[in-house]
Structure 1
């Protein structure tokens, strides 16, 4: 074990890339005016620092706010549109786009898997 003083134990670590099978998964919760998205199966550094959503109804990228853990939220009318997500890794700063991750018929309570993932 490491030497410790006053309850402090020095720990050395290094991050290693997460190799994940398949794309990032987006689990939807919320209501018609609020979308909460829980993000799982994140490859690369395994983290998400920023996230945006875009519907196919002609709007631009809408920045999502961090809610808790690996969940992000957006306020607005997103129903009836296919949804794409843009994610930036907190650790590496890399950004990817998960285009059309959820179909226009998406529903609260379901999980959708994108084709994209961090490497």
Structure 2
């Protein structure tokens, strides 16, 4: 089958063996608008939801899906370090990267977790 003929809803698991999930802080992010690009997700398909937990908080805040693997959160001010929780769309498998983004995070920086789905 030609790649152009693949149905739109067809999903192929990503294969990033030996890499851990990383979070790139999107350029333009501030303490009032934080946007993260998820990189190197291995195996389990698309991310169905993503939450962020701020420093000294027990509450997970739902992030909004922007496009592709990019998610954002707008209520601020946001205080790091940040923990990030990912849940896959199909199998509902969940991973939590504790304090993966440091207090002194910067836009365009990438922060790598110690986790992956496969």
Distance in 1 of aligned mates of 2:6 and 2:106:
46
Q: 1:20 aligns to what? A: 17
Q: 1:5 aligns to what? A: none
Distance in 2 of aligned mates of 1:88 and 1:117:
11
Q: 1:10 to 1:55 in 2, by over 3 A?
A: closer
TM-score for the superposition, normalised by structure 2: 0.80
Of structures 1 and 2, the larger Rg is shown by 1
TM-score for the superposition, normalised by structure 1: 0.80
Equivalences, count: 111
Answer yes or no: is the 8 Å Cα contact 1:39–1:70 preserved in 2. yes
Q: Deviations over 1:7-42 (max 9, x none)?
A: xx687x885573532321101121221001011100
For structure 1, list consecutive stretches of 5 or more residues without a partner in the other structure: 3-8
Q: 1:78 aligns to what? A: 78
Distance in 1 of aligned mates of 2:66 and 2:87:
16
Distance in 2 of aligned mates of 1:78 and 1:10:
41
Q: How does 1:40-119 map to 2 (within 5 A)?
A: 40-75=39-74, 76-79=76-79, 81-119=80-118
- The root-mean-square deviation of aligned C-alpha atoms, in Å, is 2.4
